[in-house]
Structure 1
Amino acid sequence: MSKDDRDKFIPRRTPESAATVASVKLVMVITPVLNRLTFDDADKIRTMFSDLIGKKEDDSFLLIPPFYTSGGERI
């Protein structure tokens, strides 16, 4: 993957930049909560991760924190 495929300039004060800022804020709220959960909290982890990516994960999904991301929709 070239650098041009990963990086994109988003002009300030546009709907796209506002959406990016909102996404980053959501990630900054969800990620620390997700990382405080334990292995026994599988249902809550699944719910939090689903909130992070914007789609529901099924019951077979398993994530063992800690989890780190730079943005929800690009996971």
Structure 2
Amino acid sequence: MYHSSTEYNTVLHRVTQYNTVQHSTTQFNAAQRRSTKYKIKQHSTTQYNTVKNSTPKFNRNKADVNESQISTDNG
């Protein structure tokens, strides 16, 4: 009887270890999800910066057009 009880406790111990591993995997997945959300935020910030950077180019191009119009008007 004692022997089977020991086996039972061993199995119980293994199940506990398995559950602990499962739990830490869940925590890891939650951390991954948070990290992904952070990366998405980072990505949208990058997109915003890209748009901001392209706006001065657009303004410069407009200025170039104005200068070329002025020079042809004088010519």
Q: Report the structure, 1 or 2, having the larger helix content.
A: 2
- Rg bigger for which structure? 2
Could you say which structure has the greater relative contact order, defined with CA pairs below 8 angstroms and 6 or more residues apart?
1
Report the TM-score when normalising by structure 2.
0.31
